[in-house]
Amino acid sequence: MQIADRSVVSFHYTLTNDRGEVLDSSSGGSPLAYLHGSGNIIPGLEKELLGKVAGDKLKVTVAPAEGYGERDARLVQEVPRRAFQGIKDIKPGMSFTAQGPQGPTRVTVTRVAGDMVTVDGNHPLAGETLNFDVEITQVREASEEELAHGHVHGEGGHHH
Protein backbone atom coordinates (compact mmCIF):
# COMPACT_ATOMS: atom_id res chain seq x y z
CA MET A 1 0.00 0.00 0.00
CA GLN A 2 1.28 3.47 -0.88
CA ILE A 3 1.28 6.33 1.60
CA ALA A 4 -1.73 8.55 0.96
CA ASP A 5 -4.18 10.65 2.95
CA ARG A 6 -6.05 8.55 5.51
CA SER A 7 -3.25 5.99 5.84
CA VAL A 8 -1.33 5.16 8.99
CA VAL A 9 2.41 5.24 8.45
CA SER A 10 5.10 3.89 10.77
CA PHE A 11 8.72 4.82 10.19
CA HIS A 12 12.13 4.95 11.81
CA TYR A 13 14.08 8.16 11.45
CA THR A 14 17.21 10.01 12.40
CA LEU A 15 17.00 13.80 12.35
CA THR A 16 20.15 15.90 11.95
CA ASN A 17 20.81 19.59 11.44
CA ASP A 18 23.12 21.03 8.77
CA ARG A 19 26.08 20.64 11.14
CA GLY A 20 25.47 16.87 11.22
CA GLU A 21 24.36 16.89 14.86
CA VAL A 22 21.72 14.26 15.69
CA LEU A 23 18.69 16.12 17.03
CA ASP A 24 16.32 13.16 17.41
CA SER A 25 16.07 9.52 16.44
CA SER A 26 13.79 6.53 16.81
CA SER A 27 16.81 4.22 16.73
CA GLY A 28 16.59 1.61 19.46
CA GLY A 29 12.91 2.31 20.01
CA SER A 30 9.58 1.89 18.32
CA PRO A 31 8.92 3.51 14.95
CA LEU A 32 6.96 6.76 14.89
CA ALA A 33 3.36 6.28 13.72
CA TYR A 34 1.22 9.06 12.26
CA LEU A 35 -1.99 9.60 10.28
CA HIS A 36 -1.02 10.93 6.86
CA GLY A 37 -2.84 14.09 5.81
CA SER A 38 -3.80 15.13 9.33
CA GLY A 39 -0.91 17.47 10.05
CA ASN A 40 0.61 15.12 12.64
CA ILE A 41 4.17 15.66 11.33
CA ILE A 42 5.88 18.67 9.75
CA PRO A 43 4.56 19.51 6.26
CA GLY A 44 7.86 19.12 4.40
CA LEU A 45 8.40 15.57 5.65
CA GLU A 46 4.79 14.54 5.11
CA LYS A 47 4.92 15.81 1.50
CA GLU A 48 8.06 13.76 0.74
CA LEU A 49 6.58 10.55 2.19
CA LEU A 50 3.50 10.67 -0.07
CA GLY A 51 3.43 7.67 -2.43
CA LYS A 52 6.17 5.72 -0.63
CA VAL A 53 5.70 2.12 0.57
CA ALA A 54 6.88 -0.06 3.46
CA GLY A 55 10.56 -0.86 3.04
CA ASP A 56 11.43 2.40 1.30
CA LYS A 57 14.46 4.24 2.66
CA LEU A 58 15.00 7.88 1.82
CA LYS A 59 16.81 11.05 2.78
CA VAL A 60 14.65 14.16 3.11
CA THR A 61 15.81 17.75 3.55
CA VAL A 62 13.18 20.11 4.93
CA ALA A 63 13.64 23.89 4.71
CA PRO A 64 12.55 25.95 7.73
CA ALA A 65 9.39 27.19 5.95
CA GLU A 66 8.12 23.58 5.69
CA GLY A 67 9.47 22.56 9.09
CA TYR A 68 9.14 24.63 12.24
CA GLY A 69 9.17 27.98 10.48
CA GLU A 70 11.67 30.81 10.31
CA ARG A 71 12.86 32.40 13.54
CA ASP A 72 10.70 35.38 14.50
CA ALA A 73 12.57 38.05 16.46
CA ARG A 74 9.23 39.35 17.80
CA LEU A 75 8.93 36.13 19.83
CA VAL A 76 12.06 36.98 21.85
CA GLN A 77 11.23 39.25 24.77
CA GLU A 78 12.67 40.52 28.00
CA VAL A 79 10.32 40.15 30.95
CA PRO A 80 10.75 41.08 34.60
CA ARG A 81 11.83 38.27 36.90
CA ARG A 82 8.70 38.92 39.00
CA ALA A 83 6.65 37.44 36.11
CA PHE A 84 7.95 34.03 37.28
CA GLN A 85 6.13 33.98 40.60
CA GLY A 86 7.11 31.13 42.90
CA ILE A 87 10.24 30.18 40.95
CA LYS A 88 13.40 31.22 42.77
CA ASP A 89 16.22 29.99 40.53
CA ILE A 90 15.52 30.81 36.88
CA LYS A 91 18.19 29.53 34.48
CA PRO A 92 18.71 29.50 30.69
CA GLY A 93 17.20 26.39 29.13
CA MET A 94 14.17 26.28 31.42
CA SER A 95 10.80 26.19 29.63
CA PHE A 96 7.50 27.66 30.75
CA THR A 97 3.99 28.05 29.41
CA ALA A 98 3.12 31.72 29.00
CA GLN A 99 -0.17 33.35 28.08
CA GLY A 100 0.19 34.93 24.64
CA PRO A 101 -2.25 36.77 22.34
CA GLN A 102 -3.29 33.46 20.70
CA GLY A 103 -3.51 31.59 24.02
CA PRO A 104 -0.92 29.48 25.88
CA THR A 105 2.52 29.33 24.27
CA ARG A 106 5.76 27.59 25.24
CA VAL A 107 8.75 29.85 25.93
CA THR A 108 12.37 29.00 26.74
CA VAL A 109 14.61 31.11 28.95
CA THR A 110 17.69 32.16 26.98
CA ARG A 111 19.28 34.69 29.35
CA VAL A 112 18.96 35.93 32.93
CA ALA A 113 20.49 39.34 33.70
CA GLY A 114 19.68 40.95 37.03
CA ASP A 115 15.93 41.44 37.30
CA MET A 116 15.28 40.75 33.60
CA VAL A 117 14.73 37.37 31.93
CA THR A 118 14.93 36.87 28.16
CA VAL A 119 12.45 34.31 26.82
CA ASP A 120 12.12 32.90 23.31
CA GLY A 121 8.73 31.76 22.00
CA ASN A 122 10.15 30.28 18.79
CA HIS A 123 10.14 26.51 18.41
CA PRO A 124 13.65 25.26 19.29
CA LEU A 125 14.09 24.08 15.67
CA ALA A 126 12.74 27.27 14.05
CA GLY A 127 15.11 28.49 11.35
CA GLU A 128 16.84 25.11 11.07
CA THR A 129 17.11 23.05 7.90
CA LEU A 130 16.13 19.53 8.96
CA ASN A 131 17.71 16.41 7.47
CA PHE A 132 15.88 13.14 7.91
CA ASP A 133 17.05 9.60 7.20
CA VAL A 134 13.81 7.63 7.01
CA GLU A 135 12.89 3.95 6.74
CA ILE A 136 9.19 3.23 6.29
CA THR A 137 8.24 0.12 8.25
CA GLN A 138 4.47 -0.11 7.74
CA VAL A 139 1.63 1.51 5.81
CA ARG A 140 -1.99 0.57 6.54
CA GLU A 141 -5.48 1.98 6.24
CA ALA A 142 -6.60 4.09 9.17
CA SER A 143 -9.54 2.91 11.24
CA GLU A 144 -12.72 4.99 11.37
CA GLU A 145 -11.91 5.85 14.99
CA GLU A 146 -8.41 7.06 14.03
CA LEU A 147 -9.87 9.19 11.24
CA ALA A 148 -12.49 10.64 13.60
CA HIS A 149 -9.86 11.47 16.22
CA GLY A 150 -7.23 12.70 13.74
CA HIS A 151 -4.40 10.53 15.09
CA VAL A 152 -3.10 6.96 15.31
CA HIS A 153 -4.22 4.64 18.10
CA GLY A 154 -2.33 1.65 19.49
CA GLU A 155 1.39 0.97 19.21
CA GLY A 156 3.32 4.09 18.29
CA GLY A 157 0.17 6.18 18.56
CA HIS A 158 -2.24 7.62 21.12
CA HIS A 159 -3.88 5.60 23.89
CA HIS A 160 -7.27 6.71 25.24
pLDDT band at residue 103 using 50, 70 and 90 as cut-offs: confident
Q: What pLDDT, on the 0 to 100 scale, is given for residue 156?
A: 56
Contact between residue 37 and residue 51 where contact means Cβ atoms under 8 Å apart? no
Task: Mark 73-98 as b/e (b = at least 16 C-beta within 10 Å).
Answer: eebbeeeeeeebeeeeeeeeebeeee
Q: In the chain, what are the domains?
A: 7-68+126-149 (3.10.50.40), 73-120 (2.40.10.330)
Contact between residue 136 and residue 11 where contact means Cβ atoms under 8 Å apart? yes
Average pLDDT value for residue range 61-79: 96
Q: What is the pLDDT of residues 132-146, one digit of tens each?
A: 999 999 999 999 999
pLDDT band at residue 100 using 50, 70 and 90 as cut-offs: confident
pLDDT band at residue 158 using 50, 70 and 90 as cut-offs: low
The pTM assigned to this predicted structure is: 0.83
Q: Is 139 exposed, middle or buried (CB count within 10 Å of its CB: 0-12, 13-18, 19+)?
A: buried
